[in-house]
Structure 1
Amino acid sequence: MKHVTVWYDGSCPLCAREIAVMKRLNRRGAVDFVNVGDQESASCPIDRRALLERLHAREGEGPILSGAPAFAAMWRALPLLRPLGLAARSPFVLRVLEALYLRFLRLRPPSMALLKARAITPG
């Protein structure tokens, strides 16, 4: 199994929650998580703005993957999610996952605003 590096936007509450779950599943340390949302100095193999727009990952020394292929690479490195990552090797499954990810990206800005507003509002 190849080591995977994942670049994510830790300033996004939804992304941070998702990655927190992935970190708990990363018992073997097969995935390195790099938060590019809070660190100007974070290791950025491509333009930082591009890294903040979508999840990116790299399996070993392979190409940098974006979106659903990046999730699939991460899942393949995590034993519990490996079957889903392997299923995503199918072009059809990967297209479906990418379509779902694109929907999430459209909902992300209003969801982030709502979550940040809730965090600020005393209650």
Structure 2
Amino acid sequence: MSSDVGNDWQVEVFYDGECPLCLREIKLLRRLDRKHRIQFTDIANPSFISASYGMTKKEFMDEIQGRLPGGEWITGVEVFRRLYAAIGLKPLVALTRLPGISHGIEIGYRVFAKNRLRLTGRCEDGTCQVN
């Protein structure tokens, strides 16, 4: 279920290990996370039980989810901001919070999240099923 669990993690990311684009991003983050500040949890792993986190599988699949050490949940672009801050890219993260840029990134992510299964070839006969 979870991997790279350490005592000093700053953010847990719940990612879809069956999504080629998502997996590429996670591999990059794993490589850059030299201080083990990110806890990675693959929601596609058969041992992952979404209900144990108080959410449905669909909620995890609809947009990226993250959790902070205190138990607070974060979603969408904020997860990416926390991930990139954890690997030392805080100046880049600060740029994503600027008016205009922030709004554009939020819109872009929403479009991607809504179409992620289709964009990664995981739909058949015009339907996108979540297992």
State the TM-score bracket (shorter-chain normalisation). Answer: 0.7 to 0.9
Partner of 1:78: 87
Using structure 1 for the length normalisation, give the TM-score.
0.76
Residue number among 48, 51, 58 corresponding to 1:49 in the alignment = 58
Q: Which moved more, 1:7-16 or 1:105-114?
A: 105-114
> AA paired with 2:102?
L
Residue 9 in structure 1 maps to residue 16 in structure 2: yes
The SS at the match of 1:100 is helix
Task: Indicate if the aligned counterparts of 2:14 and 2:42 stay in contact, CA closer than 8 A.
Answer: yes
> AA paired with 1:3?
Q
Task: Indicate if the aligned counterparts of 2:62 and 2:114 stay in contact, CA closer than 8 A.
Answer: no
Query: Structure 1 regions of 5+ residues with no counterpart?
Result: 115-123
Choose between structure 1 and 2: higher helix proportion: 1
Residue-by-residue CA offset, 1:84-104 (whole Å, 9 max, x unaligned)? 223334464432221111122
CA RMSD of aligned residues (A): 2.4
> AA paired with 2:30?
K
| C-alpha separation in 1, matches of 2:98 and 2:56 | 29
> AA paired with 1:26?
D
| C-alpha separation in 2, matches of 1:25 and 1:89 | 22
Identical positions, percent: 27
Residue-by-residue CA offset, 1:52-75 (whole Å, 9 max, x unaligned)? 221111232152111111111111
Using structure 2 for the length normalisation, give the TM-score.
0.72
Residue-by-residue CA offset, 1:4-50 (whole Å, 9 max, x unaligned)? 11101111111111111111111110000100022343565232221
Task: Indicate if the aligned counterparts of 2:42 and 2:48 stay in contact, CA closer than 8 A.
Answer: no
Residues paired across the two proteins, number? 113
